[in-house]
């Protein structure tokens, strides 16, 4: 997702619990592990560690509804980047990601939003490292 590094993103008011923040940018943290920082442009003390869920769950998939596709002006799947928020736990091997509410970004326009997946078997606290014990 190098195309998104330091690009201003408009996530509207879609980050749950942080709806007062609209503009974010993606910063590199650890390229090898795939960890990125989704940093608020409006408040430097607000940021989220995010990853591509596909890096940890190769079979992760979901379908966006027509409203989200139209709202983000998505023309084809290659226009989309997907991130999930990481919750860091101790020990680190027990850290989790939220597979129920991915952040979907149109990489062409920089518009995105966090979406809630309905009727899914995914967990809010899915193990970051699925081959180890960890999900809640």
- Return the CATH class of domain 2-127: mainly beta
Digit-coded pLDDT (tens) for 28-46: 987 667 899 999 999 999 9
Question: Does residue 136 have a pLDDT over 50?
Answer: no
How confident is residue 1, by pLDDT bands cut at 50, 70 and 90? low
Residue 57, pLDDT score: 94
Digit-coded pLDDT (tens) for 60-113: 999 999 999 999 999 999 999 999 999 999 999 899 999 999 999 999 999 999
Please state the domain extents for the chain: 2-127
Mean pLDDT for the chain? 91
* Mean predicted confidence (pLDDT) in 12-20: 94
Question: Does residue 13 have a pLDDT over 80?
Answer: yes
| pTM > 0.85 | yes
Residue 129, pLDDT score: 87
Residue 126 phi/psi, 5-degree rounding, is -85, 140
Tell me how far apart the alpha carbons of residues 14 and 134 are, in angstroms, rounded to a whole number. 27
């Amino acid at each position: 997702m190098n195309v998104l590094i330091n690009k201003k993103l408009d996530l509207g008011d879609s980050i749950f619990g942080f709806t007062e923040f609209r503009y974010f940018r993606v910063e590199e943290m650890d390229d090898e592990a795939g960890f990125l920082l989704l940093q608020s442009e409006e408040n430097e003390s607000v940021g989220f560690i995010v990853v591509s869920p596909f890096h940890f769950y190769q079979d992760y998939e979901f379908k966006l509804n027509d409203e989200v596709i139209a709202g983000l002006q998505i023309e084809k799947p290659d226009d989309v980047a997907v991130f999930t928020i990481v919750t860091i736990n101790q020990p680190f091997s027990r850290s989790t990601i939220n597979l129920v509410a991915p952040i979907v970004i149109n990489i062409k326009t920089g518009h995105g939003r966090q979406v809630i997946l309905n009727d899914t078997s995914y967990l809010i606290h899915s193990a970051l490292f699925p081959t180890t014990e960890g999900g809640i």
